[in-house]
Amino acid sequence: MKVQLSTIIAVSICLLFLIPMVIYMRTHTVGGTGSDKMLESEEFRNLREEGKNLAQMGMKYYEDGNTDKALELYNKAIQIYIQALKIRPENAEMHNDLGAVYYNLGEAVSEPIWTDDLTKCSLTEAMDRLQNALKEVKSGIIVLTFNDKQIAEKVKNFAISQGHYAHINPVEDGKEFDLYIIKGKTKEAFLKAESEFLRSKLIKERYAPAYRNLGALYMKMGRWDEAVQNLELALRIEPYDKELRTYLQQIKQRSR
Banded model confidence at residue 40, pLDDT cuts 50, 70, 90: confident
Q: How far apart, in whole angstroms, are the C-alpha atoms of residue 86 and residue 196? A: 14
- Give the length of the chain: 256
pLDDT band at 26 (very low <50, low <70, confident <90, very high): low
pLDDT at 32 over 70: no
Task: Work out the widest C-alpha separation in the chain, in whole angstroms.
Answer: 63
Phi-psi label, residue 182: left if phi above 0, alpha if psi -120 to 50, beta otherwise: beta
Taking 60 as the threshold, does the pLDDT of residue 3 lie above it?
no
Work out the number of other CB atoms within 10 angstroms of the CB of residue 125. Answer: 12
Residue 173's pLDDT is: 82
Position 253 confidence tier, pLDDT thresholds 50, 70, 90: confident
Distance CA 214, CA 80 (A): 22
pLDDT at 24 over 80: no
Nearest of 74, 81, 45, 78 to residue 60 by alpha carbon:
74
Any idea which of 21-30, 83-92, 199-208 has the lowest mean pLDDT? Answer: 21-30
The answer regarding whether domain 111-184 maps to CATH 3.40.50.1820 reads: no
In sequence order, the β-bridge partners of residue 166 are: 181
Every domain of the chain and the residues it spans: 41-89, 111-184
CA atoms in the 13 A half-sphere facing the CB of 132? 11
Mean pLDDT of the chain: 87
In tens, the pLDDT along 201-229 reads: 999 999 999 999 999 999 999 999 999 99
Per residue in 169-190, pLDDT (tens digit) is 998 888 999 999 999 999 999 9
**Dihedral Cα 52, 89, 76, 189, nearest 10 deg:** -100
Who wins on pLDDT, 174 or 84? 84
Please report, rounded to a whole number, the percentage of residues in the chain having pLDDT higher than 90: 77
Q: Is the pLDDT of residue 94 over 80?
A: yes
Q: Is the pLDDT of residue 34 over 60?
A: no
Q: Which residues contact 193 (CB under 8 A, 6 or more apart)?
A: 99, 100, 102, 103, 106, 213, 217
Question: Which pLDDT band holds residue 36 (cuts at 50, 70, 90)?
Answer: low
Q: How confident is the model at residue 39 (pLDDT cuts 50, 70, 90)?
A: low
Res. 47: pLDDT tops 80 = yes
Q: Please tell me the predicted confidence (pLDDT) of residue 85.
A: 97
For 226-251, the pLDDT digits (tens) are 999 999 999 999 999 998 999 888 88
DSSP-derived secondary structure letter, 41: -
